[in-house]
Structure 1
């Protein structure tokens, strides 16, 4: 078992206070958006096994079966298939979707064939993997997830009283649900940029004046003036997760995180197709291939189980659970069939003989038995083998 040293990513949307507050350190004044725990090549965790500091990626590469176990290597290859994060949104993230596995493999192969550099700003597929993800709130956490029913979205747009939005509301009322959502999103993202900027400005003024159901969209107006993504975002459900609640995001589901601190667990991929709320590349034709135009309520879940509380996920690349360790409770012996990362978010529990403070994490190789004890909250990230 290895205590991990992790990189904090300073993306512009990050909170300046949430991660320092959890870690118990002074803020730097700069945004601190994500703390990565895992073996992703962009920022692998570091550890020391007595021969000096190395990365978790290098440790796994040196002996995959020892670190991951034979079953995980057979199923996922010689790599850690998940990435665990602390995510702290102080401003809205981009409106985005992720491809499924087949789409990612095809898109990556195509861009490789066309010789698009891996670091090119217009590249869509960084790897041939899908990127399902789960977010679990540590504080009240606001996000947008999945499409509203088109008639509901039409009513929301009409309520703003902006004349230039009427054709979009009419589109939503004129077709079956999936066709209506596709036509509406396509129309917004391909509209004349100057005209759309004026529409967004008028809509923004109405959003700030009306409040109520429009309040979640006010930060979008502030951070992304004139961006078509402001209108596109109104097609989506607003979700507020309370601490301990989680939400799974599958392929093709449009979403954007708005504000809050959470634990995020995802497949080890960088593939993102953006629809707006960003200065980054937006590839509308490719995006429209990936989006699933299916309305529905986001499935907010609380963990199930006694002792180990599990957040259900339909994918095998990751499994998220939580232990809330109470005074006087018996220790928990963790299963050892697969690799795991343990993250403390409250109290001062112990993993084996290692005492953990909030924000500290450990990597446990497959086959190594470990007990959780003490008082506090520990999240467990592993795989299903």
Structure 2
């Protein structure tokens, strides 16, 4: 009979990137401080990302229990002791002895870079060429689920909207030249997809490779024009965003290139799924994020970090149109599931009213749970005593564990679960 390995509480990692939120109002700071109350934190720092997983840039550790003789143990080391029992045989067959997903909470105060994540083939090439920049050889499809109002740029606008952009933002034409603009303006939606893609790639690459002197001149010109026109008309949301981005990243090409992308605003519970080689930039808000276990990012604007413009412009798919906003599929009265088109992960949103209970069925792969609000208890089975859980607690649940959650008598218990995509096991 196969042995079931019991769940373990996790000590999580945090990243203090400069775009994060400062102070106790940041979800990342709050959850991190509650995760390990014995570790003091400096609330004057920006708290950007909470990481739960095995990636070496921010690994999780097990909280010690009676079975530990070596003190604090990295989650990855613990998995390596018995990968098949912990991860499940199907997961180890596909991903060997590592967790295939990385779970995060993000607190975004300042726009993240215009970026894309490479597919598996490109990731292997980039890691080999620049291992100090591209830290691993894995791809990084990802999904973001809004905890608050969450704003992002994601994917290229439609052809018709791009024509409107080139008409209403003359600074773009002044940078790229009339030939590129005219080429877009003469295209029709009925033209071959490849022809449209080539034209879009050509004009976007030309814009992104403009000299810093040219960029500074035209960003300044754009700002003066929008501030003047703001006295006589209401600026569009995208124009208002450009003013905001310029304050955060003066003289940055990202201020102008933002007009090429869809401006997406999510309300809590809505999600975006972002595949490999798709451009995006988170603008503001807080979210749950899950991705394949990777930290590979190709950047080209809105960042003081290393920019790899040629790689980004060559790798993008140049798909156009507004991205699908995922609402989550209800599994029952308390659980909604977000299922992206990637094998590595899915995310469940769990909300339990006061004094309510929920039995979470055993699954063939591993799960990570994080409590984002409330308190209650977690019970492995009817034969074991429940363990108290509260906001900030994170747990690793090995394969084939049935878990029962119960909310406390006051306040809702809210958790998120990351696990291997259920469709992988079908």
TM-score > 0.5, shorter chain as reference = yes
| Alignment-derived partner of residue 219 in structure 1 | 244
**Cα distance in 1 for residues equivalent to 2:206 and 2:337:** 41
Gaps spanning 5+ residues in structure 1: where? none
- Does the 8 Å CA contact 2:144/2:290 hold for their aligned counterparts? yes
| Alignment-derived partner of residue 311 in structure 2 | 286
**Shift in Å, 1:199:** 0.7
| Alignment-derived partner of residue 391 in structure 2 | 358
| Alignment-derived partner of residue 273 in structure 2 | 248
Match of 1:264 among 289, 295, 302: 289
Query: Number of paired residues?
Result: 375
- Does the 8 Å CA contact 1:151/1:172 hold for their aligned counterparts? no
User: After the TM superposition, which residues 128-207 of structure 1 pair with which residues of structure 2 at under 5 Å, given as runs?
Assistant: 128-160=137-169, 162=171, 164=174, 167=178, 169-175=181-187, 176-207=195-226
1:5 and 2:11 aligned: yes
**Cα distance in 2 for residues equivalent to 1:312 and 1:135:** 12
- Does the 8 Å CA contact 2:374/2:391 hold for their aligned counterparts? yes
User: After the TM superposition, which residues 330-349 of structure 1 pair with which residues of structure 2 at under 5 Å, given as runs?
Assistant: 330-349=357-376
Larger radius of gyration: 2
**Cα distance in 2 for residues equivalent to 1:268 and 1:24:** 24
**Shift in Å, 1:21:** 4.7
Across the aligned residues of Structure 1 and Structure 2, the Cα RMSD in angstroms comes to 2.2
- Does the 8 Å CA contact 1:216/1:238 hold for their aligned counterparts? no
**Cα distance in 2 for residues equivalent to 1:350 and 1:308:** 17
| Alignment-derived partner of residue 56 in structure 2 | 41
- Does the 8 Å CA contact 1:336/1:367 hold for their aligned counterparts? yes
**What are the superposed Cα offsets for residues 12-70 of structure 1, whole Å, 9 maximum, x if unpaired?**
00011312355687971210000101111111111124321111111112221122111
1:326 and 2:376 aligned: no
| Alignment-derived partner of residue 379 in structure 1 | 416
**Cα distance in 2 for residues equivalent to 1:24 and 1:279:** 28
- Does the 8 Å CA contact 1:100/1:130 hold for their aligned counterparts? yes
**What are the superposed Cα offsets for residues 108-139 of structure 1, whole Å, 9 maximum, x if unpaired?**
34x2xxxx4x32xxx4x322211000000000
**Cα distance in 2 for residues equivalent to 1:232 and 1:97:** 14
**Cα distance in 1 for residues equivalent to 2:252 and 2:224:** 14
| SS of residue in 2 equivalent to 1:349 | strand
- Does the 8 Å CA contact 2:242/2:256 hold for their aligned counterparts? no
**Shift in Å, 1:294:** 1.1
| Alignment-derived partner of residue 104 in structure 1 | 123
- Does the 8 Å CA contact 1:35/1:86 hold for their aligned counterparts? yes
**Shift in Å, 1:169:** 4.4
**Cα distance in 1 for residues equivalent to 2:182 and 2:393:** 52
**Cα distance in 2 for residues equivalent to 1:29 and 1:330:** 38
| SS of residue in 2 equivalent to 1:377 | strand
Q: Which moves more between the two structures, 85-94 or 338-347?
A: 338-347
Match of 1:369 among 385, 397, 402: 402
Gaps spanning 5+ residues in structure 2: where? 1-6, 35-40, 188-194, 380-385
What TM-score results when the alignment is normalised by the length of structure 1? 0.91
Is the alpha carbon distance of 1:228 and 1:84 closer, same or farther for their aligned partners in structure 2, counting shifts above 3 Å?
Answer: same
Q: Which moves more between the two structures, 22-31 or 277-286?
A: 22-31
| Alignment-derived partner of residue 85 in structure 2 | 66
**Cα distance in 2 for residues equivalent to 1:141 and 1:62:** 39
| SS of residue in 1 equivalent to 2:344 | coil
**Cα distance in 2 for residues equivalent to 1:22 and 1:41:** 21
**Shift in Å, 1:91:** 0.1
Is the alpha carbon distance of 1:204 and 1:57 closer, same or farther for their aligned partners in structure 2, counting shifts above 3 Å?
Answer: farther
**Cα distance in 2 for residues equivalent to 1:265 and 1:357:** 21
**Shift in Å, 1:3:** 1.4
| Alignment-derived partner of residue 382 in structure 2 | none
**Cα distance in 2 for residues equivalent to 1:313 and 1:363:** 21
**Shift in Å, 1:248:** 0.3
**Cα distance in 2 for residues equivalent to 1:233 and 1:328:** 47
**Shift in Å, 1:161:** 5.2
